[in-house]
Every structure is written in structure tokens, then in C-alpha cells.
Amino acid sequence: MIQTTQHLMDCGFRVIYGYTQSDEISLLFHPQEDGFGRKMRKYLSILAGEASAFFTRAFGDMGCFDARLSLLPTADLVVDYFRWRNEDAHRNALNAHCYWLLRKEGLSANEATQRLVGITTSEKNQLLFQRSLNFDQLPLWQKRGVGLYHGNREKHGMNPKTGKTTTTTRRCLEVNMHLPMKEEYSRFVRQLIELETTSTRSGS
């Protein structure tokens, strides 16, 4: 899923932020992205096709993605959207670990599902803890998803003509598997938006 997100962020669209959790990918387009005349049907068909093709080839088995596009006119709504998906990742991870532990104990798919209906988050944590799994100690990416965004890295080399050491700054795609949560995550997403829009206004 991380590789598929990387591919979507490098297949011709201007994407500020990519986020993946569970079986979904969310992309934040640059406000000035104007490919294909901003026709929604083109975005949806191309992204679904690119994701399905790349995932299938990378995973070695059939993968089929659909796509939808949300028009969010303010930065606050964009932050709210990614905050929602970040918190959903936590719920998905907790439910999935509970479900599959119950399945390993011999419960059927329906029995495991019904066992989890109506119980609280703390009760799910306790269910895992009683089976020697501390949810708080799981890798952060399992509970919060993975974020991808562009950053700058310095690369050191040598000028073949002068023999002098040179340092260049190159734009690269960062993969963050230790995302924050709640208000800290909201600030993180907002900073990405502000950084991209500021660099665009300055002409860099």
C-alpha cells in the first residue's frame, strides 16, 4: 500500500500529501493542480486504474481499487478529513487485531464479528491484553497509518571538472511511519498545506 501510494504521488499529478491505512489511500491535491482540465471523471478513472495496476503487479495478486473525489474548499476541512482518517486507522487496527485473535481461537467469522459488537474501546484493549497482546506497544504505523510527503535532502558529491566537493538539495518523497495523533496530527497536516502553498506563492 505504501508503494502504491508512492506511485500515485508520482504518476503525473501534483500531490501535497498521501496517506494510507487499512485498504485505502487518500491523496491531497495541490490547489493549482489542473491536469485534464480538472475533469473529475478523468481523475477518478486514472487513479483507480493506476492503483489497481500497480498494486496487482507489486503484490502478485489481483487488487481492484475504486476512487472518489471530495471537494474541500478550506484548509480546515482538509485537516478535518485527514484527522478523521487518522482516527479511523486506530479503530480499524484495534478491531482487526481483536477479530483475528478471536478467529485464531476457533470462532467463525460471524461469531468473532458478533463478539465485538457493542463493546467499548477499553474492553477491546482488555480483550487483547488478556491474550498477551498490548495494543499500545504495536508499531505506530499499524495504529495511525502512514503519511507520505515531499521534502528536501542534501546530497554530497564531487564536481568532476574542479574536483571540489559539492552539495545539492534534492526534492524527495518522505515516508513517515510514526505519525502523531489528535491535535498534533492536525497541526502536522496544516503545516504541510501551508508549506506547499507558501512555496508556490514565492515561486519556488
End-to-end CA separation in angstroms for the chain? 30
- pLDDT given for residue 198 in this prediction: 72
- pLDDT given for residue 20 in this prediction: 98
- pLDDT given for residue 197 in this prediction: 74
The answer to whether the beta carbons of residues 109 and 103 sit under 8 Å apart is yes
- pLDDT given for residue 199 in this prediction: 62
- pLDDT given for residue 204 in this prediction: 46
3-state secondary structure the chain: CHHHHHHHCCCCCCEEEEEEECCEEEEEECCCCCHHHHCHHHHHHHHHHHHHHHHHHHHCCCCCCCCCCCCCCCHHHHHHHHHHHHHHHHHHHHHHHHHHHHHHCCCCHHHHHHHHCCCCHHHHHHHHHCCCCCHHHCCHHHHHCEEEEEEEEEEEEECCCCCCEEEEEEEEEEEECCCCCHHHHHHHHHHHHHHHHHHHHCCC
- pLDDT given for residue 154 in this prediction: 64
Parts of the chain with a pLDDT under 70: 154-156, 166-169, 199-204
For the chain, which residues make up each domain, given as ranges? 2-59
